[in-house]
Amino acid sequence: MQLLFHYNWLIRDEWYSWCEDLTEEELLKNRTGGVGSILQTLFHIVDVEWSWIRLIQGKEDFQENFDDYKSISKVRELDARFHKEVEEFVNNWDENMESNKFYDLQSDGSHLTDTWGEVMRHIIAHEIHHIGQLSVWAREIGKKPISANFIGRGLGTH
Amino acid sequence: MQLLFHYNWLIRDEWYSWCEDLTEEELLKNRTGGVGSILQTLFHIVDVEWSWIRLIQGKEDFQENFDDYKSISKVRELDARFHKEVEEFVNNWDENMESNKFYDLQSDGSHLTDTWGEVMRHIIAHEIHHIGQLSVWAREIGKKPISANFIGRGLGTH
């Protein structure tokens, strides 16, 4: 479980560097699919990861507003701020937490029950999925996307 | 580990159904990013999953040619043919296999060493990444993509 989070963090960091070569206009340009722009996608990934990890622990979530984070350095700052808490939770994950329950309040007042294991895999898949969208937009701009390879990144347990 | 494979198989199946509403022209149309077309993406996912699982076991891989699979029913047939073997391997996965070594021959004659755990996570991330690309192309066609949510699919361990 942890290794796929580490993978996502490595890839995300490479995308931040990749973004440094883009103009603000390119980063904020509204694109087809996903949440709209390249920068908002990265913001959304950071926000969603942190929010889920807060929520399952019964901690308060707050909704960040993208309007306050419209530069790559601001998104990286937010990420750095959230990351400590996320990393601590992920690195202390153990299999006994797998079936812990999270009661997910729906907008109609009903509850869905997720296990913590489901939520963790949801976070993992969420980021990889959105990064796949970035890879298409990168080619639209005429730039090579960051490799999505898991192998070759030193993420084996030896 | 297994649950993310099960997730990918559920999502892939939903994309197959989603494709049924598209014309052959739409399915085969060359698009920006990824491996090119919607159908070739699904073919590529099926091929890569099976090939890796063959390779780490030291079994022979063979290169399928997309020209022979240019319809959704043909890709589904190929998937069904490969799936039995893939599913058996995945469902019999246990943590002791994690650090098994795979010697990955490079085109220059050198070897990289991957662990089996790395290869399994590589397969998982590979599919989710390409499915993210499909979601952008779906919106370009004006159609709602399949949800990438992990939660809500009955994939919790209770």
Spell out the domain ranges in chain B: 2-157
CB B12 within 8 A of CB B155: no
Q: Tell whether B150 is within 8 A of chain A (Cβ).
A: yes
Q: Tell whether A148 is within 8 A of chain B (Cβ).
A: yes
- Minimal Cα–Cα distance from B95 to chain A, Å? 11
Q: Which of B121, B140, B149 sits opposite A3 (nearest CB)?
A: B121
pTM above 0.90, yes or no: yes
Distance separating alpha carbons of residues A51 and A60, to the nearest angstrom: 9
Q: Mutual orientation of helices A116-141 and A2-19 as an angle, nearest 10°?
A: 30
Quick one: pLDDT at residue B158?
A: 58
Quick one: pLDDT at residue A112?
A: 87
Quick one: pLDDT at residue B20?
A: 97
- Minimal Cα–Cα distance from B121 to chain A, Å? 7
Low-confidence ranges of chain B (pLDDT < 50): none
- Domain A2-157: which CATH number of 3.30.70.1140, 1.20.120.450, 3.30.70.370, 3.90.550.10: 1.20.120.450
Q: Name the closest residue on chain A to residue B134, using Cα atoms.
A: A133
CB A131 within 8 A of CB A150: no
Question: Is there a contact between B129 and A128 if contact means CB atoms under 8 Å apart?
Answer: yes
Question: Is there a contact between A156 and B125 if contact means CB atoms under 8 Å apart?
Answer: no
Distance separating alpha carbons of residues A136 and A145, to the nearest angstrom: 8
> If you ran DSSP here, which 8-state letter would residue A36 be given?
S
For residue A158, is pLDDT > 80? no
Mean pLDDT for the stretch of residues A79-93: 97
- Test mutation, A4, A56, A134, A136, chain B, max B CBs within 10 A: A136
Query: Model confidence over A17-67: pLDDT tens digits?
Result: 999 999 999 999 999 999 999 999 999 999 999 999 999 999 988 788 999
Burial class (CB in 10 A: 0-12, 13-18, 19+), B95: exposed
